[in-house]
Structure 1
Amino acid sequence: MTTRQVYNPGPRAQRYYDAMHFATATRAGDLIWVSGQVGIDPETGLPAQGIEAQAQFAFRAVEAALVAAGSSLGDIVELMTFHTELGRDSAGFSAVKDEFVHEPYPCWTAVGVTELARPEFLVEIRAVAFVNAR
């Protein structure tokens, strides 16, 4: 039987788990699902300014969740991103994505949306990864 474990790295993630009832990451067997991560600066608790800064913080949050669950950015098999300004911000986002995601590239779906959880958020990143027994 496959067991399911939840991971909430850091006090903010645990507060969301307790108050809003969702896990930052869930591992079932050798697969990990990471809930959508946004560009909040962990030092200030505020959204970062601009798509590049928000994407960097969001990818770092995805990475922290994967590491806590026993994986890494290199083990992502599916990436889904949600953008409030998809056309305008695609070049800046793609440049940051390429800093964090390398070959072999995962599947990626980018979706343009009218809004995210807060009006300041420009991008949200969710991922599915496997546990690589290196």
Structure 2
Amino acid sequence: MEIIHERFGYAPAVKAGPFLYMAGQLGRDENLNVVEGKEAQVVQAFENVKTVLTAAGLTFDDVVEMMTYHTDFSEMQLIMNVKDRYFTNPDRLPAWTALGVTALAMPGLFVEIKCTALLPD
């Protein structure tokens, strides 16, 4: 995640009070290259969320809110299927808002995932 701070000038996440506020995570690899294939891109975006959560000592069970940004809502079922691989506890699902947008940070990207997680006491 150091590369994001150096290249784009923002933190992948910030702890504030009892929460971790995560910047939007995209389907880019560790070198910030766009991952090819829609399912692979969604998986990579969730893996990037997982990386940020893990760095903070958290899991998907700690996520209380998720916002997703979509350039194409026709892929919503795919995104829901991948999401279910990561949010496996039906008693700990986040509030979820999905927004349609015309474009994301780089050409070829079609989904972005932003989360807020509750930090442990």
Q: TM-score if structure 1 supplies the norm length?
A: 0.81
Partner of 1:99 in structure 2? 85
Q: Shift of the alpha carbon at 1:45?
A: 4.3
Count of residues paired in the alignment? 119
User: In terms of Rg, which structure is larger?
Assistant: 1
CA RMSD of aligned residues (A): 1.5
Runs ≥4 residues deviating over 3 A: none
In 1: Cα distance, 2:105 partner to 2:48 partner: 16
In 1: Cα distance, 2:37 partner to 2:98 partner: 18
Determine whether 1:72 maps to 2:72: no
SS in 1 for 2:115: strand
Q: List alignment gaps of at least 5 residues for structure 2.
A: none
Q: TM-score if structure 2 supplies the norm length?
A: 0.89
Q: Shift of the alpha carbon at 1:124?
A: 0.5
In 2: Cα distance, 1:49 partner to 1:94 partner: 19
Partner of 2:70 in structure 1? 83
In 1: Cα distance, 2:96 partner to 2:38 partner: 18
Q: Shift of the alpha carbon at 1:16?
A: 2.0
Q: Which amino acid aligns with 1:30?
A: P
- Residue identity over aligned pairs, in percent, reads 36
Determine whether 1:54 maps to 2:41: yes
Q: What does 1:107-118 align with in structure 2 at a 5 Å threshold?
A: 107-118=95-106
Q: What does 1:18-33 align with in structure 2 at a 5 Å threshold?
A: 18-33=6-21
